[in-house]
Amino acid sequence: MSKIKILIPVYNDWQSVFKLIDEINNLSIDPKFQLSIIIVNDGSNHDRLVEEKSLENLYSVKILNMKINQGHARCIATGLKYIHEKEDFDYVIPMDGDGEDRPEEINDFLDQIKDADERPIVGERIKRSENLLFKICYQLHKLITLTFTGKTIKFGNFTCLPKTTVEKMINEKATWNSFSGSLTKVEKDLLSIPSIRGNRYFGPSKMSFYNLIKHSLSILSVFRKTFLIRSALFITLYILLIKTNASVITAIPLIFLLIAVYSISNLALRENMEEFDNSLKNILDISKIK
């Protein structure tokens, strides 16, 4: 029997998380898979709902209550470290707890495991639920990432990671800063399933333009050496092209690129292996729903 741990970070969105748990419990799962859920409570300041749930199709449901809020990426990193050190598992499936990662696609991951040969499986986005402007910006983010790093990253947190990959990720400091960037760095051979971005169960999406920019820059910071080399080449070529027609307008791309270089350098400081190693000390307590 393969033991699957579903890792869900949450901050003040308990209504969505409990709906997600119900939907996972109601899935028709092959009996050869044992599903457990581990929720990382990122220092929520809203009390969660107290509900009695049977959850007969889930082996266990635990909540890691963190002392302080540390952000989405670090919640997942802490969860991976906890599972690797404290749990018996074969695979980890990190996913958002708001419905945007659709629970029915868990079966798609499980169907691929037998042919994956210990390779990680990613949910490659083929359709998104945001407005047109956001979709255009997201495509621009992927284009910039490809141009300045040579990496095509079409996935987020929703993945299926074998134990060998989890071990690599908890020993990679980039995991403390960017999940998808770190996974792309430590694993070259990724399988994929088509994944549709679902609608939030309750309330508007939390992926704002600011968060998208931060997400994009965090990925770039993982590959900052390549980014800096390509940026230097771009700046040199661009200056040669505009030297006879230099103006404030033609300087705008250079200004944006220099701001990006500065931002990425700052974000790279988040890759703190000492903090990552000590992340389990931030767990206040562990509660069990089942």
Model confidence at 132, pLDDT cuts 50, 70, 90, reads confident
Q: Which residues contact 118 (CB under 8 A, 6 or more apart)?
A: 162, 164
Sign of CA dihedral 172, 94, 124, 134: negative
Q: Is residue 64 part of a domain?
A: yes
Sign of CA dihedral 274, 277, 278, 284: positive
Task: Give the CB-side neighbour count of residue 176, counting CA atoms within 13 A.
Answer: 18
Q: Is residue 67 part of a domain?
A: yes
Q: Is the confidence at residue 108, as pLDDT, over 70? A: yes
Range of lowest pLDDT (26-30, 113-117, 201-205, 255-259): 201-205
Q: Is residue 266 part of a domain?
A: no
The domain total for the chain is 1
Q: Is residue 143 part of a domain?
A: no
Give the pLDDT confidence score for residue 63 in this predicted structure.
95
| Closest CA relative to residue 177, chosen from 263, 255, 97, 103 | 263
Query: Residue 185 sits in which domain range?
Result: 2-137+153-206+272-282
Model confidence at 51, pLDDT cuts 50, 70, 90, reads low
Sign of CA dihedral 50, 39, 86, 74: negative
Residue 189 DSSP class: -
Q: Is residue 51 part of a domain?
A: yes
- 164-173: pLDDT as tens digits: 999 999 999 9
Which CATH number is 115's domain given?
3.90.550.10
Give the pLDDT confidence score for residue 42 in this predicted structure.
94
Model confidence at 158, pLDDT cuts 50, 70, 90, reads very high
The answer to whether the CB of 141 falls within 8 A of the CB of 214 is: no
Task: Find the DSSP H helices in 206-269.
Answer: 209-222, 224-242, 252-268
Percentage of the chain lying above the pLDDT 70 cut: 94
φ, ψ (nearest 5 deg) of residue 78: -65, -40
| pTM summary value | 0.90
Residue with tokens 């990425």: 264
Q: Is residue 246 part of a domain?
A: no
Q: Is residue 58 part of a domain?
A: yes
Q: Is residue 88 part of a domain?
A: yes
Model confidence at 141, pLDDT cuts 50, 70, 90, reads confident
